[in-house]
Structure 1
Amino acid sequence: MRNTARWATALGLAATAVLGPLTGAATAAPEASSLVLTARYGDTFPTLSADATVPQVREVTLTCSPTVSGTHPDAKSACTELRRVDGDFDALKATPGMMCPMYFDPVVVTVSGVWEGRSVSYERTFGNQCVKNTYGSVFAF
C-alpha cells in the first residue's frame, strides 16, 4: 500500500506539471488597447448661415497594447498616464499650477475604441486648447 500511495502522488505531480500550463492561467496575453481621439476646435454649435465657420478637427490614434504605437505625438506618455488611471478618462486631472488665458474657445474631445478589452466612448468639452493641454499628454495633440 505504501508504494501505491507514492505512485499516486508521483503521478499526480507529474500530471500537474504537464497539464498545468495548458489551462491558460499561467500566461495570459494583455488585452488590446487601441483608441481614436479627436479634438474639434471652434464653434461648438455651428449655424446654418453662409458665413458659419467650419470647426477644425484633429484626429490621432493611440495603441497601448500589445505595443505602444499610433499617430499620437507622445504615445508612450499618454499610455503611461492611461495605465495609471486604468483607462478612466474622468480620472485625468489638470496639472496643478498651470495657467491658461480666460477666454472661451471650446475644444470638444472624443475618444472611442477599446481599453484592455473594454469598449470606450468618451466626450469632454474644454474651455480652450490651453486648458485641454493641461490635462496631461493624453489630450495634448
Structure 2
Amino acid sequence: MPNTARWAATLTLTATAVCGPLAGSALAAPTPAPASLYAPSALVLTTGHGDGAEGVTPERAVTLSCAPTASGTHPAPVRACAELRASGGDFDALDVRDEVMCTKQFDPVVVTVDGVWQGRRVSYERTFANECVKNSYGMTVFAF
C-alpha cells in the first residue's frame, strides 16, 4: 500500500507540474489576432511603344511584390522595392540618373503601373521619349 500512495502522489505532482501552466493559459482571454502584419504592396508594371496607354499593346509585363518580402517577375525586385520605399511610392519622385546619356530619338515608350502600394490602390501611366529615357528614371523600377 505504501507504494500505491507514493505512485499516486508522484502522478499528482507530475500532472500538476505539466498541466498547471496549461490550465492557467486556458482560462486567460484569447488575444485577438492583428488584422494584418503589413500593408500589401503588389504591382503589375507594363511597357509598350506608342503615344499613350490607350491603344498600346503591352510588350512586356512584370509583377513586383514588396511586402512582406520583395519578389515577383521583375528582374531586380529587391532594388526596385527599395527605390519605391525611398520615394514613398511616388513614381514621379523617382530619381533621374544624370550620368545617363540618351539620344533625342523619338520612339515613345509607355509604362503603366496598376495594383496596390502599402494598402492604397495605384494606377500610374507615363510616356517616355524613348527606351533610354525610360530606363534613366530610378535605377531599376522601370528597367525591365
Tell me the TM-score normalised to structure 1 length: 0.71
Name the structure with the higher strand share. 1
| Aligned equivalents of 1:64, 1:127: Cα separation in 2 | 28
RMSD across aligned C-alpha pairs, in angstroms? 2.3
Task: Indicate the residue corresponding to 1:99 in structure 2.
Answer: 101
Q: Which runs of 4+ in 1 moved over 2 A?
A: 21-24
Deviation at residue 97 of structure 1 after TM alignment = 2.2
- After superposition, the C-alpha distances for 1:25-83 in whole angstroms (9 at most, x for unaligned) are xx961101000000012x437xxxxxxxx866110000000121110011110000001
Where do 1:48-87 residues align within 5 Å? Answer: 57-87=59-89
Based on CA coordinates, which of the two structures has the bigger radius of gyration? 2
Letter of the 2:141 partner, please give it: V
Structure 1 residue 44 corresponds to structure 2 residue 51: yes
Cα separation, 1, equivalents of 2:58 and 2:90:
26
CA distance in 1: counterparts of 2:58 and 2:82, whole angstroms: 28
Structure 2 residue identity aligned to 1:137: T
Q: 5+ unaligned residues in a row in structure 1: which ranges?
A: 1-17, 46-53
Structure 2, unpaired ranges of 5+: 1-27
Q: TM-score, normalised by structure 2?
A: 0.70
Distance 1:138 1:108 in 2: 14
Question: Separation in 1 of the partners of 2:120 and 2:82?
Answer: 18
Distance, in Å, in 1 between the alignment partners of 2:32 and 2:58 is 52
Counting only pairs closer than 5 Å after superposition, residues 1-141 of structure 1 correspond to structure 2 as 24=34, 29-41=37-49, 43-44=50-51, 57-135=59-137, 136-141=139-144
